[in-house]
Amino acid sequence: MSRQDAVAQAAAAADRLQQTRSITDLHVMQDAVQRALNLGASLQDIAAARADADHERRQAEALFEPGTLVVTVGPGASGKSRFAATFPHSWVVCLDELRERVGDDAGDQSATPQAVALQDLLISARLERGLTTVVDSTNVEARVRRGLVSQARQHGRPVAAVVFLADLETCEARNSRRPANRRVPAAVLRWQHEQTLAAVPLLADEGFTDIRTVGATSADWAAAPRSVRAAARSLGVSWTAARPTWKPHPTQRVRDTDAEAVAGAPGRGRGGRGA
Ligand SMILES: Nc1ncnc2c1ncn2[C@@H]1O[C@H](COP(=O)(O)OP(=O)(O)O)[C@@H](O)[C@H]1O
Ligand SMILES: [Mg+2]
């Protein structure tokens, strides 16, 4: 594990502890912090990672009108889950995770029908309550997107599409680094990538009220088929190098050192005691 990953894990464990205040999570955090320290990180690094994640979360929360159904559209390994992870965990409905819940294996496609049924139930429950919901799945097929748009409409909620335009080679490289059960077959990945580009001109007509792109470089964008670029421009869609509209984070000064600075003072934060 890299030092950066260890720091990110320790920061996430501290966040979790702050919400749950559970002894188990305290131990998980201690282990994670120890791992990061062993790899040469400092407690300040971990606290800074927490501040960064917090900032990113606030930015993410402000991206969409409250109550929006946010639909990711993109091939495997294009960055959908990475994007989804910047939102509060409870906002995200991830199909891989649901496949794992119903079939013990996130990559087991035979569990898809049951996972989709759960996905729809969760989406509907959250939209009914007016809560922003991020659907983390490929959604490269118009038929699948139609179902999602129709769910948002039934509840009178806005529906945003976030299209992941990372180039095929990047997706292939990331895909090849995944564990075997999570790897998308090469031909399927190529097809998903094509379908993603083909989706861009269709999204407005499909009823999406907010369309954004993530992950394309200017070179990717220049390489996209002319029809896609023209349609995107006419919809006011533009490429962004990484994530849309996020401002750089002014480095925050953090209290130093002890574990409390990492976990946050008791009673502060979103969860609060016993939440
Ligand atoms: N913009 C990016 N820059 C660097 N790494 C990225 C980026 N987007 C995604 N990744 C990495 O690529 C891998 C696949 O991303 P992931 O979000 O899991 O894809 P998806 O959910 O679309 O299948 C992950 O290891 C992730 O951290
Ligand atoms: Mg994913």
CATH 3.40.50.300 placement within the chain: 64-234
CA of 147 to the centre of ligand 2 (A): 20
Q: What is the pLDDT, as a whole number, of residue 41?
A: 95
Q: Name the one residue in this structure whose structure tokens are 């930015």.
A: 59
Least distant ligand from the CA of 162: 1
Kindly report the backbone phi and psi dihedral angles of residue 110, in degrees, each rounded to the nearest multiple of 5, phi listed first: -70, -15
Distance separating alpha carbons of residues 51 and 269, to the nearest angstrom = 12
CA of 91 to the centre of ligand 1 (A): 19
Least distant ligand from the CA of 86: 1
Strand ranges across the sheet with 69-73: 92-94, 133-136, 69-73, 159-164, 210-214
Q: How far is CA 2 from CA 9, 39, 171, 182, 225, in A?
A: 11, 8, 21, 21, 38
The structure tokens listed for 143 are 């038929």
Q: Name the one residue in this structure whose structure tokens are 């030092």.
A: 3
CA of 87 to the centre of ligand 2 (A): 14
Helix (H, G, I), strand (E, B) or coil at 153: helix
Within the chain, strands assigned E span: 69-73, 92-94, 133-136, 159-164, 210-214
Atom 4 of ligand 1, residue of closest alpha carbon: 79
Pocket test for ligand 1, best of 94, 174, 246 (most atoms within 8 A of CB): 174
Distance separating alpha carbons of residues 99 and 114, to the nearest angstrom = 8
Kindly report the backbone phi and psi dihedral angles of residue 51, in degrees, each rounded to the nearest multiple of 5, phi listed first: -65, -40
Distance separating alpha carbons of residues 73 and 165, to the nearest angstrom = 9
Nearest atom, ligand 1, residue 138 CA: 22
Q: What is the pLDDT, as a whole number, of residue 194?
A: 95
Pocket test for ligand 1, best of 9, 82, 136, 176 (most atoms within 8 A of CB): 82
Atom 11 of ligand 1, residue of closest alpha carbon: 79
Q: What is the pLDDT, as a whole number, of residue 209?
A: 87
Least distant ligand from the CA of 79: 1
Q: What is the pLDDT, as a whole number, of residue 22?
A: 86
CA of 75 to the centre of ligand 1 (A): 11
Amino acid at 160: A
CA of 95 to the centre of ligand 1 (A): 16
Going by C-beta distance under 8 Å and a sequence separation of 6 or more, which residues neighbour residue 74? 80, 138, 139, 140, 163, 164, 165, 166, 192, 196, 215
10-residue averages of pLDDT along the chain (275 residues): 92 86 89 95 91 75 87 94 84 95 90 95 96 96 97 95 88 94 94 93 88 67 62 54 33 27 35 31
CA of 35 to the centre of ligand 1 (A): 23
User: Residues lining ligand 1, judged by CB closer than 6 Å?
Assistant: 74, 76-82, 174, 215, 242
71 DSSP β-pair partners: 135, 161
> 231-259: string of b/e by CB count within 10 Å (b at 16+)?
bbeeeebebbeebbeeeeeeeeebeeeee
CATH topology for 64-234?
Answer: Rossmann fold (3.40.50)
Are 143 and 53 contacting, i.e. CB atoms less than 8 angstroms apart?
no
Q: What is the pLDDT, as a whole number, of residue 79?
A: 86
Closest CA relative to residue 232, chosen from 197, 263, 206, 258: 197
Q: What is the pLDDT, as a whole number, of residue 220?
A: 54
